[in-house]
Amino acid sequence: MLTLNHADYHNQGQGLATGITITLPLPDFVQQTGWAAGDPGITLADAQPLSFTLSSLGPAEFGMIEVRIKTVDAIARGSAVAAIDTKWVDSNPVDNSSERVSLLVAAADAYEPNDLLSSARPLLTPARISDLSYHQAGDQDWFVFYTPAGVHYHIYTDQLSADGNTLLALYDSDGTEILRNDNGGEGAQSSSINWQSAKPGIYYVMVTRPEGGSGPFLYDLVADHEAYLFLPAIRLE
């Protein structure tokens, strides 16, 4: 069971707000299992979408609703936006919605256990593996692939969830590091390696959080073959 951090509400106007409805639509992968509020006047109006009612809220008065949720999914990502509506005519309704809040479930993904070179999972290139998880401090995701000589690869992390940060490393068959990259991808915290195989063989890719820090997140691992087109030289006399 998880706790969705409280939704705060605050009357910043000059008059008494009445007929208040607070709505918090939840993603399909979560279910509300309970709630609590500091104001005894708050009542649950509907479970889907999740909404609460409050008869009135005076100037400068505020409150909080805490929602408890559960999910059966090991991997999921979504978001929610809380909104408030009243019978009182609001001259500035722009601030009646919260910022979008990310909801993340990042337990062990389907490729675990693959925390060691010896337990690396096959990576069939070209490939995109979606919604891999960094689910605990020090987690490492190892993958193995075979390549002939002379193939150009672009290997990178993509679609990082909120607070995600990857370090990407490439190793040869002996476990010797060839290349590593941190924050070299298109996203601010993603990673990218461009590499050409000098000889055929087994190679490994490892993804982790820099310095093995805490904080779960989801990401995609992409391994593409880079294509190069060589045009004939033309000499003009």
The full set of domains in the chain, from first to last, is: 2-106 (2.60.40.1530), 117-225 (2.60.120.380)
The answer to whether 147 and 197 are in contact (CB under 8 A) is yes
Q: Is the pLDDT of residue 187 over 50?
A: yes
Look up residue 170 and give its DSSP letter.
E
Cβ-based burial of 1 (10 A; exposed 0-12, middle 13-18, buried ≥19): exposed
**Which pLDDT score is estimated for 205?**
98
Say which amino acid occupies 87. Answer: K
**Which pLDDT score is estimated for 231?**
54
Tokens representing residue 96 in the block: 């009646």
Say which amino acid occupies 228. Answer: Y
Quick: pLDDT tens for 135-164.
989 999 999 999 999 999 999 999 998 889
Q: Which residue has the higher pLDDT, 186 or 75?
A: 75
**Phi-psi group of 138: left, alpha or beta (phi > 0 → left; psi -120 to 50 → alpha; rest → beta):** left
Quick: pLDDT tens for 86-103.
876 665 666 677 776 667
Integer CA distances (angstroms), 33 to 25, 36, 151, in order = 14, 11, 52
The answer to whether 196 and 228 are in contact (CB under 8 A) is no
